[in-house]
Amino acid sequence: QGCVQKYIVKNYFYYYLFKFSAALGEEIFYITFLPFIYWNIDHSVSRRMIIIWSIVMYIGQVSKDILKWPRPLSPPVVKLEMRTDAEYGMPSTHAMAATAISFSFLIATMNQYKYPFELGLVVAFVFSTLVCLSRLYTGMHTVLDVIGGALISAVLLVLLYPVWDTIDHLLLTSPFCPLLSIVVPLVLCYNYPKLDYYSPTRGDTTTILGAGAGATVGFWLNNQYAMPAYTSENFHLGFPLITSKMLVVVLARFFVGIFIVLLTRRLMKSVVLSMLGYRYKFPIGDLEARRRLEVEVPYKFITYSSVGFSATVLVPLLHGLLGLM
């Protein structure tokens, strides 16, 4: 235990394909793709995807620590990842996230944009399949873990779809939305299932719920006090192809936005961790202290709620100032 298995890569195509596919279910993808949709495609699509993503991921993470099914034994499998090895296996949250994101995007756009439904269905299926297969290739999940994750996500999509519009309307108009968007996720994070040893699932869950909370508050503020920054008239999925001018604007929005989002994450991590270190008397580099409940939850929740708020409020304001609307 604690030793990294040595392995020889015999097929570099599969190796890089599935390593890349695995990254499509991690923070680097969420922090780029979901804001991109908000900045460049459609607010309503982005809102629905973030709602689904937050709910699906919370249920998936909690289910792991309730079921406590172990990951595949190594050997015989070779594990190409180590960070999440301390987590339990069932269900695969990579499979859940990939299924939720790809198919919620398809469902949210198929009636608003002109593109072949068959093409959208194929893209969603290929995306989710690649991520699912990557979890088998990297040795992190069994076939049952992956199938279970995809099926749970599919069932949640079916159950949530009829109330999408109702939830979206309440999040935009209810005066209680900002309070509930912060309090409910915090309560869920502080009451996360306890384990006999440390696992990154609680921290990851707090990250997801924090980002969703910050984004939800941003959605509400934009609806109450600002005009929608981008509508379906700004960007069209399908044909005709994107013009060069539109492509420049899209890329400018994206790179400006990502810079602000990453800067926010970096600054808030430093500030919040310093404040908690002062409060609980531990050095910032003390990893064990950062894993304690009273440190990990506020540290990750405040940091990523700031990221979500920045992506939905500060970045669109900056886009406006720079003439990128």
Name residues whose C-beta falls within 8 Å of residue 210's C-beta, 6 or more positions apart in sequence.
185, 189, 300, 301, 302, 303, 304, 305, 307, 308
At position 243, the amino acid (one-letter code) is T
From residue 255, alpha-carbon distances to 232, 246, 325 in Å are 21, 14, 14
- Is the CB of residue 148 less than 8 Å from the CB of residue 92? yes
Residue type, 126: V
Report d(CA 72, CA 66) in Å as an integer: 18
The answer to whether 169 is a known catalytic residue is no
Q: Is the peptide bond preceding residue 240 cis, with omega within 30 degrees of 0?
A: yes
Q: Which two tokens stand for residue 142?
A: 């069994």
CA Rg, the chain, in Å? 20
Catalytic residue among 43, 141, 169, 236: 141
Would you name the residues annotated as active-site residues? 94, 141
